Amino acid sequence: MDKDRIVGVAKDVAGKVEGTAGDIAGDTRTSASGRAREAAGTVQNLYGQAKDAVRDAGDAAADLAQDAYSAGSDTYQQGSRAIARQVKNNPLGALLLAGGIGFALAMMMNRPPRRQRWRY
């Protein structure tokens, strides 16, 4: 619980007491002062609630990110094991696939640059 919520509730209660005392005594200045303190307490309490909500949302987002990171790591490890098993079972096919990928990358990287035609 945020300290603004505690202080806000205290101001709210003090304002209600002061406002009621002013109403009973017939003193409009005390009554108005109490209502103003009550309103200030309510606003401070709402501010504290908003801070708590933001803090809770941040904590939830951090927990969600940690869970996603853990799940991603597990998925990567499972994929690595599956690829290693496939290469172990079929080494020639894995070698041909790796060579084909390397050849395709080399062809893409060594293309001659396009000549620009200047138009006047």
For the stretch 13-70, pLDDT in tens is 888 888 888 888 888 888 888 889 889 888 988 888 888 888 888 888 888 888 888 8
Q: How confident is the model at residue 103 (pLDDT cuts 50, 70, 90)?
A: very high
For residue 78, give both structure tokens. 């499972």
Angstrom distance (rounded) from CA 52 to CA 2: 6
DSSP letter, residue 18: H
With 70 as the cut, is the pLDDT of residue 120 above it?
no
Task: Work out the mean pLDDT of the chain and round it to a whole number.
Answer: 86
Angstrom distance (rounded) from CA 75 to CA 73: 5
pTM, two decimals, is 0.54
Q: Are 16 and 34 in contact (CB under 8 A)?
A: yes
Q: For residue 50, how many other CB atoms are within 10 A of its CB?
A: 13
